[in-house]
Amino acid sequence: MFDEIMEKFEGSPSQQTVIRLLLERGFSVNDEGRVVSGGIEIPNTQIAREIDVDRRVVDSTTNAILADEELRRIFQNISHLPSLMDLAPVLDLSVVTIAVRNADEAGIIAEITGILADEGLSIRQAVSDDPEFSDEPRLYVITEEPVPGDVLREIHDLSFVRSVELS
């Protein structure tokens, strides 16, 4: 799906940058063509400044989104999911970041969270990048307690795991 969305803007790398930001941040576009997070409007000048494009690029991108029925349905229904990852150090939580070989494989989250549960580790949150929207999707598991090294090794040794990182 990500590739299909980006193809609609293949003639404009700047508009692709806007699209990428909207998807990464979970921003939606309302009926007036304004970028919003929930009910909070984000000025196009702020978006433009963040990604170093002209404000008019943001305007033309949101207009193109509203003019395309498929894009409209997608971008009017995006929502942001709060993440504990940035708060983990403050809240004394652990973050396990797992990169996999094939993110489309079934059972990845179940296998990994099962290992953590078998160890009695409480999972506060599990968030995965969508393989459609990310070139290098990862699974992030935030736990109450530190994850022991032998558990990290067990996860790393799973056939579908490419790398494991603890922070």
Phi, psi of 141 (to 5 degrees): -120, 120
Average pLDDT for residues 30-45, to the nearest whole number? 96
Q: How many CA atoms lie within 13 A of 97 on its CB side?
A: 11
Model confidence at 117, pLDDT cuts 50, 70, 90, reads very high
Helix axes 108-118, 149-156, angle to 10 degrees: 160
Report the alpha-carbon distance of residue 93 to residue 87 in Å, rounded: 8
pLDDT of residue 161: 96
Rounded CA separation 42/33 (Å):
11
Q: What is the pLDDT of residue 129?
A: 85
Which residues are 95's β-sheet partners? 142
Confidence (pLDDT) at 135: 76
pLDDT classification of 134: cutoffs 50, 70, 90? confident
Q: What is the pLDDT of residue 109?
A: 95
Once rounded to an integer, what is the mean pLDDT over residues 85-100?
A: 94
The number of beta carbons lying within 10 Å of the beta carbon of residue 91 is: 10
Residues 138-155 pLDDT 10s: 999 999 999 999 999 999
Burial of 108 (0-12, 13-18, 19+ CB in 10 A): buried
Tokens of 84: 């504990």
> How sure is the predictor about 92, in pLDDT bands with cuts at 50, 70 and 90?
very high
The pLDDT-based confidence of 130 (bands split at 50, 70, 90) is confident
Mean pLDDT of all residues in the chain?
A: 94
Instruction: Name the CATH architecture for the domain at 88-166.
Output: 2-Layer Sandwich (3.30)
Name which of 9, 4, 67 is nearest 33 in CA terms.
67
pLDDT value for 137: 87
pLDDT of residue 1: 78
pLDDT at 114: 97
User: What are the domain boundaries of the chain?
Assistant: 2-75, 88-166
